[in-house]
């Protein structure tokens, strides 16, 4: 296909008419599809059904050391759960705190504790006039919502091919003591599916922050969530920071939300022993402990890392065709038109799509009016403000393959329609 921008107004008008007719035909189908969030589909959830019943008696409620997991106790999780997560995250069990069903909750609480108590003896952040976090963009809207809720100013930092713009990160972190944190999804990032290179991890670990209580919030949400047989590799940042004499600079998070059940998984914090000890000290006033029975369910279901990896292969087998379908349709419908680009990740839950500038909102609106809900335009930026209004997060996991083909075909149509509308309005700066 020829680049849209090279076409004449007459050609564009004809194309617009064709596209509008196609769009009308979609509307007539009265679709009701949702690609808004990174939710696993039903087929994925069914993979973990046996987990529901593998703890089914007084005997199977017992932990390795004989602890009756039905009763109170165990602030930081079962030792065997720590061991499994330590293997997954390539750390030691003493670096692990196993929690409840939500890693977002652990991240929020970690920031909230810093607000209330400070970090490792520093002044409570709530006593300071201004707290700032760096936010690589495009990024994860729920990270941004934590900051917004707690009144933390967000500073966007561009994502590059191998991670955030580390020159910008270094400058901001090392010059401004109000910069206390950065949100990262370092592997199969949300939404781009990019994995930070070793050089980027090294640049993080060698930061010399202006604030002694600067912390990296390393949301390793997709640590074993591969879509292709080609796996990305992420360098271990805990080790790297320890090697650079910053053992306490990182809080790492993960969960089984997209491994077993999003609503009933197990979340985990991994950090230096000092940080884990500090978190436990504050948490001992907050809770007696997490749901140990649900930890046991996971342990009995997976048995070990090998079992867990075999399980992730089944997810991959379900997800790979969905991602392929999206990429195929985008290429077929939009390839060569010169109006858009998108990522082709090896793992994670999303494809990041860049439309022509000032078109994302229009595309999302067109999709919605034809019955397909996408992630809102702007969601991948702090304060919901994409300065170029071009980025849209595509979440292909929830719909069935058939539904997804329909939804993405409509999406591609809406992209073309919005692009033609814009060209006809004679606005410059196509991507």
Contact set with a second copy (CB under 8 A): 37, 39-40, 42, 45-46, 48-49, 52-53, 55-58, 61, 68-74, 100-102, 104-105, 108-109, 112, 115-116, 124, 126-127, 142, 145-146, 148-150, 257, 261-264, 282, 284-294
List of residues 6+ apart from 339 with CB closer than 8 A: 4, 5, 355, 356, 415, 416, 419, 430, 431
Residue placing its CB nearer to a second copy in the complex, 7 or 62: 62
Residue placing its CB nearer to a second copy in the complex, 110 or 352: 110
- Rounded Cα–Cα distance for residues 168 and 172 (Å): 6
- Smallest separation, CB 53 to a second copy (Å): 5
**Rounded to 5, what percent of the chain is helix, strand, coil?**
45, 15, 40
**Within 10 A of 105 (CB to CB), how many other CB atoms are there?**
14
Residue placing its CB nearer to a second copy in the complex, 51 or 370: 51
Residue placing its CB nearer to a second copy in the complex, 78 or 169: 78
Residue placing its CB nearer to a second copy in the complex, 151 or 336: 151
- Smallest separation, CB 118 to a second copy (Å): 11
- Smallest separation, CB 125 to a second copy (Å): 10
CA distances from 324 to 228, 316, 336, 408 (A): 10, 12, 18, 12
Pairing of strands 267-270, 132-137: unpaired
Residue placing its CB nearer to a second copy in the complex, 163 or 289: 289
- Rounded Cα–Cα distance for residues 11 and 298 (Å): 58
- Smallest separation, CB 145 to a second copy (Å): 5
Cα dihedral 405, 410, 416, 422 sign: negative
List of residues 6+ apart from 362 with CB closer than 8 A: 418, 421, 422
Residue placing its CB nearer to a second copy in the complex, 175 or 284: 284
The CA R_g of the chain, rounded to the nearest whole Å, is 23
- Rounded Cα–Cα distance for residues 377 and 56 (Å): 45
- Smallest separation, CB 149 to a second copy (Å): 3
Phi then psi dihedrals of residue 62, to 5 deg: -90, 135
């Amino acid at each position: 296909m020829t680049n849209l921008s090279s076409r004449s107004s007459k050609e564009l008008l004809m194309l617009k008419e064709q596209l509008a007719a196609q769009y009308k035909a979609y509307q007539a189908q009265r679709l009701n599809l949702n690609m808004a969030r990174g939710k696993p589909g039903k087929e994925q959830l069914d993979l973990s059904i046996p987990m529901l019943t593998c703890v089914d008696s007084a005997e199977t409620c017992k932990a390795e050391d004989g602890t009756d997991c039905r009763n109170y106790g165990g602030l930081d999780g079962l030792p065997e759960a720590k061991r499994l997560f330590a293997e997954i995250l390539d750390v030691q069990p003493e670096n692990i705190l196993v929690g409840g069903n939500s890693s977002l909750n652990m991240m929020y609480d970690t920031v909230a504790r810093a607000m209330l108590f400070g970090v490792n003896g520093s002044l409570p952040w709530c006593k300071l006039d201004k707290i700032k976090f760096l936010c690589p963009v495009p990024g994860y809207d729920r990270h941004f919502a934590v900051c917004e809720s707690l009144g933390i100013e967000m500073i966007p930092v561009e994502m590059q091919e191998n991670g955030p713009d580390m020159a910008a990160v270094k400058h901001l972190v090392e010059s401004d003591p109000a910069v206390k944190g950065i949100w990262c999804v370092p592997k199969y990032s949300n939404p781009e599916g990019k994995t930070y290179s070793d050089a980027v991890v090294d640049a993080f670990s060698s930061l010399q922050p202006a604030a002694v209580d600067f912390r990296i919030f390393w949301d390793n949400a997709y640590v074993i969530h591969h879509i292709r047989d080609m796996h990305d590799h992420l360098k271990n940042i805990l080790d790297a920071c320890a090697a650079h004499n910053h053992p306490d600079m990182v809080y790492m998070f993960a969960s089984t939300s997209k491994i077993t059940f999003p609503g009933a998984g197990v979340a985990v914090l991994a950090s230096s022993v000092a940080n884990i000890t500090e978190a436990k000290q504050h948490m001992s006033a907050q809770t007696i402990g997490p749901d140990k029975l649900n930890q046991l369910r996971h342990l009995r279901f997976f048995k070990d890392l090998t079992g867990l990896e075999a399980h992730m292969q089944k997810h991959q087998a379900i997800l790979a065709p969905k991602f392929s379908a999206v990429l195929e349709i985008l290429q077929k419908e939009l390839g060569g038109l010169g109006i858009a680009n998108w990522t082709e990740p090896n793992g994670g839950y999303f494809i990041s799509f860049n439309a022509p500038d000032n078109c994302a909102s229009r595309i999302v609106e067109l999709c919605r009016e034809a019955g397909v809900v996408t992630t809102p335009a702007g969601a991948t930026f702090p304060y919901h403000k994409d300065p170029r209004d071009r980025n849209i997060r595509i979440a292909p996991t929830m719909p069935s393959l058939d539904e997804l083909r329909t939804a993405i075909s409509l999406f591609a149509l809406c992209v073309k329609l919005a692009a033609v509308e814009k060209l006809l309005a004679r606005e410059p700066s196509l991507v």
